[in-house]
Chains A and B, each alone.
Chain A
Amino acid sequence: EVQLLESGGGFVQPGGSLRLSCAASGFTFSNYGMTWVRQAPGKGLEWVSTISASGGSTFFADSVRGRFTISRDNSKNTLYLQMNSLRAEDTAVYFCARDLTGPTAYFGFSGQGTLVTVSS
């Protein structure tokens, strides 16, 4: 069974940093691109970032480019999202997802997400 377990969310002040993790199991992690999608409270889904299976290619939404970094450790079956210079508008539940096709993808979700709250 495919499982994606997000962690690392929490409360942070504007300008602060946070690193999210997504532990994957039930599939060959190194064969799949991976993606972060977020959802602000009461709002819709927003694509944040994607990383290729090898980690050699990364893509970002304009709203986070230059502030967020996506990475992966295929030896640990783990996806990361380093979030710097956080803003109030980054407050959201962050979901990780498996890219189900390539080179562009739709997504398979599994976890419950992790909540990031940016507030003073």
Chain B
Amino acid sequence: AQSVTQLGSHVSVSEGALVLLRCNYSSSVPPYLFWYVQYPNQGLQLLLKYTSAATLVKGINGFEAEFKKSETSFHLTKPSAHMSDAAEYFCAVSDGRNTPLVFGKGTRLSVIA
């Protein structure tokens, strides 16, 4: 069975500072990994996905994530936070078979001016 742990339910950063949102996964098979973003009162939007083609994955809005098998991690980063990045971020895992995505509990990102 797959599972995802997101460390920190709330992260606060200053505008222009590095954003680091942590995600660790558990999977019995090579996982497919995703980061989604949810803006207030909206649905979830895909930020990026790990396809096994490259361990460093670039997504939209300047975000990227690095897959580290040895650490079972897929942390999300952005070099410089912007006010518009304030949202909730979800890490998700799939085994690529007939089961839907399994989500972490989410991390709310606040950006302080």
Same complex: no
Interface residues, chain B, CB within 8 Å of chain A? none
